[in-house]
Every structure is written in structure tokens, then in C-alpha cells.
Structure 1
């Protein structure tokens, strides 16, 4: 974007909509896990996937300094490892780096970029599996987790003390979560299939087209204007250009900011989609972009 705001330190007042949201997310998760045996499988998958994706959106808010002025309180709200695989501390570090990247979308600068630096070997094959929206939602979750764990395994060799600090609180919380799952009779395999996998797939629907590596334009963050029910699920992060320009804005303030600045976003080249129906129609089986970043593409002689 043309202007770039600081990452943000949160709010001077308590964001009660976000507090209520946190109660719904964690209360809903407790109900879904406790009553999993009596819920029909399709209902369980839809409700549980929604709750896991919703918690991811909530964590995004807490990382950006909401709902209170106190980081420790916000971190405590977002910390619970419902997805099992991603320590909150690492998510926070990665997301701060994403917003601070010198070139957003360039995998050499942006740790959350979907783009890659090469199109050969295993990286190229996995990238092609994730090129379409269907491929991203279907294959993206296990690929993301595998790549993340491999990277963390390599990091153990380079910085073992830091890895222990990052993972120890997370793993202790996972032990508590697994105790609860065992207490309510919900097996780990079923939890992953009914909660974690669909939650990650829904999150990947949001992230699929939210950035485009257009080097000729400052507008690399997209907006999906009519989020509908997905706007609530993603806490208006579908208005991604507005979020990147004002990352400290609470989720319920983003729509008004987007409306005020929409014309400028469009003039700066930020992609604007009508809704997720358009995303599905255009990209379900077609690639959103060449996922080798423009800085790394080989131009034929």
C-alpha cells in the first residue's frame, strides 16, 4: 500500500466484542468436544471446523493488540493450542515479521508468503498441488504442517535453547488439551479430522487470494468486500488492504475504514473481489497466480 502504518500496540479501551467472541469460541469448543458423540458427523465437522478457524481469527486479533491494552492478557486469550501444531509464540513472531517484511509476498522476506522461489523438485510439486483453491484447501493443511515441523526440526540444531522456550509452554498446554479429549472420549484422530483439518481448510479459503505479488503496483493486499458469514468467521480480515494499512484497527472497525478508502485502494491496484463466491468461481480449479514469485522467475531468452 502507499502508506504503511505501524504494526500496532492495541487499544486504549477494552474491545468487548472481541471478549464476547473469545467466550463464544472457547465455550463452543468445550461444548463441541463434550457432545461430539451425539452430534451427526456433518454437523460436528462444520461446527468444529468453524470454531477452529474462528480461534485462528481471534489469535490474529490478540497478536494485533486486542481486546485489551495489556499484551499478557491478550496473549493469554489467544494462547490455547486448539490446533495442536502451531505454538502461539511462533505464530506471533511470524505474523509480526509478515507485516514488517520489506517486500510482502517475497518468500525471501515474508515468512507467511504463499509464493515460492523455485518451481523444481519437491517444492515445485507441492506448490502445484496447492495452486488452485481446491488444491490449497485439500492438500494445504498437511503440507503446511509438514513443512513447519521440518523447519522447526532444523531449527533445533541451530538454536536449541530458543526452540525449547518456544515449544515448552505450548506442549504443556497440549498435554492438558489431550487430557480433556481423553476425558470426553474424543480420540486424537477424530479430533484432527473433525476439528483441525476443516478449520485449517477454512482459514486457507481466506488466505488463498489475499495477496498478489504484483511488483508494478504498491497494492499487494486484496479485499473481499461482501464477506457475509465469512466476514464474521474471518473477523473482517477479508478486507485485507485495510488491515495492512491500519493493522492496529479492531476487526469491527475495518469495514468503515475500507469504505472510506476503497477508491484509493482500487486506484493503487489492490485487487477487489465481490465476495467468496467470486473467489470460488474463478479459482476453484484455476491458479490465482504463478506462485513462483516474480523476483525469482526465470525469463526465457
Structure 2
């Protein structure tokens, strides 16, 4: 913002500062997301399932991106209001406090890609791999391909979370019970609007909102991280088009986000353009020219071995 302010006329500089202070782009976007979600759900019968699948998935992913934004940025909005802004569980399955906690751990640079310490790692330790049966190994290996990650990955994610929460309870740890109770209370009005007000079946909502939203999330995260001795070279940059940039709130420029996690989503592209060479040099040119390049390379081919090279 400092460099930008030096190059703009005084009236534009004042406008930029005002937008920044009020987090106006994010607030306007949030209002638009909830309005679009309500409209799609309420008038779902007026559109075909294929159209609803695409638009519903985009809205669900955009809301997930807003939740991610609230974890890191929006610092000029009080924490309670940030949480309230993104709290509604449109995806039904993930309580925001659990997402906030696990994702914050993910941002510890030393932990990136660690099989146990990084909650978003898809690597496995050699010791764990040796204990897996042939079926589990085959599923994990298949999950390194994009086609499997998109289609089956969301269900694997749900299964992994369910097993983790069940093991927590079996061990006598009920620290998440209050979070899940609050989540159930929060899901109730969502389901009331979907089923009772809009006369939309729960199955159709899961099929056309929750599932495609998770698929888009799986696409974004598919190539975000790889193992490297340098933490900065573990984080990718995908220079995609404005549509995916908006859906992911520019988190596809992931290395920029890890270097400047509190930077608002609408400032990330400009920062990357101004510092492109330095950013690519810092992350070892871990770079893709858009998601189509990723599809061509890894739709059927594994992106990396599932056993972590170090662990």
C-alpha cells in the first residue's frame, strides 16, 4: 500500500485508505455471497441440476474462501464480528472454530508438509505407511492423482475428520463437544431455509452445493505444497485467471499468502505483479501457469509419492 499510495493522486489515495480501513471489498463480497446463496437455494427449481451444481459449488467455495480470509486478514474488523461474518456453516460439515485452529497450525513454516504436525499435509510417514494394508495404500496412492482427489477426495476428507473426532472421544477427550453442539445449532437455520422455506431436498443441497464446493477446494489445494528443505520452496504459485482468482480470493498465489498471511485478498495480485521475480526466486519457481496446466499434468498421474521424503 505504501508504494501504491506514493504513485496515486491525493483524492485516489484517500479513497484507497478509506476502502482499506473499512474492509469494504470483503464486506461487499460477503453480502453478495449470502445473497447469491439464498437466491440459488430459493429458486433452485428454476434451473437445471448441472447449472445449480456449478453455481452452487462456486458459492460454497467462495464462502470457504471468506472463512479463510477471516482467519488471516480483515484485521480492522473486531474478531467477534469477523467470526460472525463467516460463521454460517453453508458447507454443513466443518465447524469454523476447528477450521480456524487447524489452519493456524498449518501456517507454522517448520511444520509445512509434516505428516503429523501439518493438518493439511497429504504426506504419510514411512512408519505409518509400513502399517497400512494394501487397500489403504492403493487409495492413498490414487489420491495423488487429480481425478481421484476431485471425485473421491471430499468423501475421504469427511471420513478422516469423522475418524479423528471419534478417536478423540474414545480417548476421553471431549474438548470439541461444545464446538460440535454449537455447530449443530448453527446448521439448523441453514437446513430450515433449505428444506422448509425453499423446498429443496437435503440430498440435492449436498450434491449441488457441499460436494462441488469441496471439489473446488480440492482443486485449489492439490498442488499448494510439496516437501523441500526450504519452507518457502514448499509453497506453490498458480497464476490463474480472474474467475479462479475470485473463487479462491487469490489464495492460488499461495506463496504470497504464506509470506504475507494478513494481506487482504484484493491486494495480493498487485503485490505479486510488483514482486513477481523475487517471489518466484524465493519459492524455487514452484509455479504453474493456471489450473489447466495442472489438469494436463496430473489428472491421471500422481503428483508425488505419498511417503514423506524426510519422515
Q: Is the 8 A contact 2:141 2:305 kept in 1?
A: no
| Residue equivalent to 1:211 | 225
Match of 2:144 in 1: 131
SS at the partner of 1:226?
coil
2:151 corresponds to 1:143: no
Are 1:199 and 2:242 an aligned pair?
Answer: no
**Which of 192-201 and 162-171 deviates more?**
162-171
Whether the aligned pair in 2 keeps the contact of 1:18 and 1:67 (CA below 8 Å) is: no
User: Any conservation in 2 of the 1:220–1:270 contact (CA below 8 Å)?
Assistant: no
Structure 2: stretches of 5+ with no match in the other structure: 1-18
Aligned length: 286
Specify the alignment match of 1:52 in structure 2.
60
More helix by share: 2
Aligned residue in 1 for 2:4: none
Give the RMSD, CA atoms, in angstroms: 1.8
Q: TM-score, normalised by structure 1?
A: 0.90
4+ aligned runs moved over 3 Å, structure 1 = 157-161
Q: Is the 8 A contact 1:102 1:109 kept in 2?
A: no
1:252 is matched with which residue? 266
Alignment partners' CA distance in 2, 1:69 and 1:45 = 33
Map Cα deviations across residues 133-157 of structure 1 (whole Å, 9 max, x no partner).
1110011000000110110111123
The structure with the larger Rg is 2
Q: 2:286 aligns with which of 255, 271, 281?
A: 271
**Alpha-carbon distance between aligned partners in 1 of 2:236 and 2:87, rounded to the nearest angstrom:** 28
168, 177, 185: which is aligned to 1:172? 185
Q: What do the CA deviations read for 1:196-247 (whole angstroms, capped 9, x no partner)?
A: 1111001111100011112367411000113331011100000000000000
Cα distance in 2 for partners of 1:264, 1:114 equals 28
Moved more, 132-141 or 267-276: 267-276
Gapped regions of structure 1 (runs ≥ 5): 1-10, 297-301
Q: What is the deviation of 1:101?
A: 4.9
**2:80 corresponds to 1:72:** yes
Please state if 1:292 is matched with 2:307.
yes
Answer whether contact 2:145 2:302 (CA < 8 A) is retained.
yes
